[in-house]
Structure 1
Amino acid sequence: MKRNKISILIFILFFSSISIAQVDPEIRLGARGVMSVNNDIINNSLSSAINDFSDSGFLLGFKQKLYNDFRGLFVLGFQFPDAESDLGQIFFHQIFLQIEDKNNIFKLGRSRVKSSLIEFTTLRDDDALQLTDVISPYSNGINTEDNQFGNVFEYSHIFKQRYWLTIHGEHFTKSKISPETDFSMNALGFSLEYRVPLSQRWNREIIQQIGFSFNNFLTESEGYSNKFNKTLKNYIFSAVFNLLPDPVYFLDFRMQSILNTGTEGIASVSGFSDLARAKSVSVFGGPRFLYRRLERPYLQASIYGGYKSYPDLVEKTSQLQLVTNFFYRLGENFDVGIQYQYKKNIGEVAKIYPNNEHRIQFSIVYSIEQVWNKHFDDRESILNLEHGYIK
């Protein structure tokens, strides 16, 4: 009898240890260091920054197996903002909870807003912000993060692992109001995208990604008959095409166009808010070459150009930008690179930004992701939350 009790006790302890092991969370640590030496020529005046470490950041994620086929995720992350921002030394850009299964994703918290559909392989994600992202009318223009991060509620449904339908409600930071006391939803919209899964990209289909997005800012404007008409609406169309179907020498072309319907009555620009509310049309894109040796990214070169016009302003107003770069991988996720940018601002936009700007950057970038108690697939690496250029 005593032996049976001991056997039962051992049996219980054994299966208890198994159940404990099964509910242990998967832990992911992600970090990215971005260092660059910047040399600028702004309106024929030379300036430099010996060490720009903005956008360096840290991410910590916990993923948990839930009942049925669902899994839960908690992510906490911060990064170092631009030196001229008023966000302080550290900015918490990722704080959210997510529940997902094979075909559904629910996200609630602070994260990347739907101001852009694709990534361009620039050194930092805000290098061409005026042309690559929907611009927030609630921002005072000091912080680029105002246009990229906010409090979000998102639901995505994935059809056949390739078609993504996302409905989102967002709160963009109202940095032009100090202090901010209203954190209600001030933007909403949806997006529909076709994405080739990462595991299938070796097939090198011509269309790698194509998408459409509608973004609606719930602004208050005078002279409109109903709420929908007085909101500020933006439409995004994006695409990534494979130009060379080769598993070693990757050549693709990526582009994105944004139509901002604007607010009536804005004929001139006196500040950043007017620029965000003025009607505008932008297009940005170009080719990228990536060489993979032994199934690992080795070097990458890209050249992008873009143009943005403001047709309703009294004075002819436009923005022109060129970005070209080259990155070389020294070792596992450790890269060196050089990037050149040229910006030209014409008309009303020159009241806010310099007429001409040249920038040359020499950079070193290191990315790392470490996983403990690995239980799940890598459909979304934690570093995918950060901007990347060699993929």
Structure 2
Amino acid sequence: MSREFDIVVFGATGFVGELTARYLADAAPSGTRVALAGRSEVKLTAVRRRLGKRAATWPLIVADADRPSTLDAMVARTQVVCTTVGPYLRYGEALVTAAASAGTDYVDLTGEVPFVRYSIDKVGDTAASTGARIVHACGFDSVPSDLGAYGLYRRAEADGAGTLGTTTMVVISMRGAASGGTVDSIRVIAEQAHDASTRSILLNPQALSSGPGELARGDRRAEPSDAALVRAASVDPSLRGTLAPFFMSSFNTRIVRRSNALLDYGPAFRYGEAMSVGAVPIVSTIASAVVAAGLGIGLGAMSFKPTRKLLDRVLPKPGEGPSEKARDKGHFTVQTFTTTSSGRRYRSEMVAQGDPGYKATAVMLGESALALALDRDRLPDRAGVLTPAVAMGDALTDRLTAAGFAISVREL
């Protein structure tokens, strides 16, 4: 509380950064001390002007990912730094190091497994010693996934129903566009995947489940495949048809498995993700196969320089995004199913309005920052490189519910 600010939004001049700042201007409790940070004071001034009256007096901080001394000075002034500056493999290393060293809590939107692994190895011990909570993946990747499994864990524990077994998140419906930042992160990962050590991390299902310097060897056959077609009824008898691979499962699953490693959901816990493409058996099977093939072709094209140049002409670029009208029309519904060691079946659900990668993500990131800054008496007594569920758990669930998300857990 001796810090000058509660939250600094770093990258406020970017598309999602401004959306997050706007959310805080609209939703943060009166008296919350917020500052906006980025490379250009001129652009920061323009953003602040667009945010309206509540943000009119927010201080501006000029800081640059290429100038570590400016990051050190910035994080020393705030309880929480909330960053949207990606790709994080390219721009995030100096900031996460500065936050961990200063004992400053940190939240981001990364969907990059190698960056989270870097964070664990390079700053995990430092953050644990300074008391910093380094919390990655606080947007659509991977809050619904992480809180979905966490909610099942908490409910089974409260019911005395035993530990979690095989657990699967299913994207029931979703409307929205991939953000330019997400696409740019995929570009960077595709480039780095040519390196053998990076590739081994990307292919390891337990890549994030171990501590600093302790990369666990994960047997890919021990966890559900990120690319397989799934018979819906095998997830839960209430589901029909064939489920397609979910395009962000290769990141989300690693975050949820890290939560399991830190909280212990049970010895039989296995976690996978899939996406509903319809309930009619033949139609959904064909659609799932098309989705799986498209994902494979897309990732292959991204990793091949000539085709990547062609894709760059049509895919969204960092700083770009849909109109406000399109963002408002977006939505998502995800359900997570499990069977406990006692044989009881449960389902958690998260439903939200707003484009998942933009409007809804700004809510999730903003509320994550607010939870760390304002709900410190409710947070688990943990520090280091954490996940949304481990760092904020019930506090974040309650905040998102108050913000209009429908979050529930029921026994089936």
Q: Name the one with the larger helix percent.
A: 2
| TM-score of the two chains, using structure 2 as the length reference | 0.28
Using CA pairs under 8 Å that are at least 6 residues apart, name the structure with larger relative contact order, 1 or 2.
2
Larger Rg: 1
Query: Greater strand share, 1 or 2?
Result: 1
